[in-house]
Amino acid sequence: MNASALRGLDRFGAILFDLDGVLTPTADLHRYAWKSMFDEVFAEKNVASPYTDDDYFEHLDGKRRYDGVAGILNSRGIRLPLGSPDDPPTADTISGIGNRKNEYFARALDAQGIRPYPGSLTLVTELWERGMPMGVVSSSNNARWVLTSADLIDKFPIIVDGVVAARESLASKPAPDMFLFAAQQMDLSPTDIVVFEDAISGVASARAAHFGLVIGVDRGAGHDVLLEAGADAVIDDLAVYTSAHSEPHN
20 among known catalytic residues: yes
Single out the catalytic residue among 20, 61, 161, 198: 20
Query: Domain 14-25+115-241 carries which CATH code?
Result: 3.40.50.1000
Q: What contacts 74, CB < 8 A, 6 or more positions away? A: none
Looking only at the bridges linking them, the beta strands covering 158-160 and 134-137 are: parallel
CA dihedral for 204, 207, 208, 211, sign (positive or negative): positive
Question: What is residue 20's DSSP assignment?
Answer: B
Q: Looking at the chain, which runs of residues are DSSP E strands?
A: 14-17, 134-137, 158-160, 193-197, 213-217, 233-235
| Structure confidence at residue 26 (pLDDT) | 82
Question: What is the pTM (predicted TM-score) of this model?
Answer: 0.76
Of 10, 18, 87, 187, which one is the catalytic site residue? 18
Q: How far apart are CA 194 and CA 150, in angstroms?
A: 22
User: Between 1.10.3470, 1.25.40, 1.10.150, 3.30.1330, what CATH number should domain 28-112 receive?
Assistant: 1.10.150
Beta bridge partners of 194: 15, 213
Cα–Cα distance for residue pair 239/246, rounded to 1 Å: 11
Q: Tell me what pLDDT residue 4 has.
A: 42
Q: Which residues of the chain does CATH 3.40.50.1000 include?
A: 14-25+115-241
pLDDT tens, residue by residue, 44-76:
999 999 999 889 888 887 788 899 999 999 999
Look at 97-106, 171-180, 198-207 and tell me which has the smallest mean pLDDT.
97-106
8-state DSSP, 191: G
Q: Is 80 exceeded by the pLDDT of residue 161?
A: yes
**Alpha carbon 128 to chain centroid, angstroms:** 20
**89 burial level (CB within 10 Å; 0-12, 13-18, 19+):** middle
Active site residue 198: no
For the segment 204-224, what is each residue's pLDDT rounded down to a tens digit? Answer: 999 999 999 999 999 988 999
Count of helices and strands (H, E) across the chain: 10, 6
pLDDT band at 7 (very low <50, low <70, confident <90, very high): low
User: CA–CA separation, 223 vs 211, rounded Å?
Assistant: 19
Which segment of 83-87, 95-99, 109-113 scores lowest on mean pLDDT?
109-113
Q: How far apart are CA 186 and CA 176, in angstroms?
A: 16
Q: Is the Cβ–Cβ distance between 93 and 83 less than 8 Å?
A: yes
Q: What is the arithmetic mean of pLDDT over 24-38? A: 88
> Residue 1: what pLDDT?
37
Q: What is the mean pLDDT of the chain?
A: 91
- Residues 138, 161 contacting (CB under 8 angstroms): yes
Mean pLDDT of 105-124: 89
pLDDT the model gives residue 27: 74
Q: Taking a C-beta distance cutoff of 8 angstroms, is the pair 185, 159 a contact?
A: no
Every domain range in the chain assigned CATH 1.10.150: 28-112
Residue 63, pLDDT score:
81
pLDDT at 83 over 60: yes
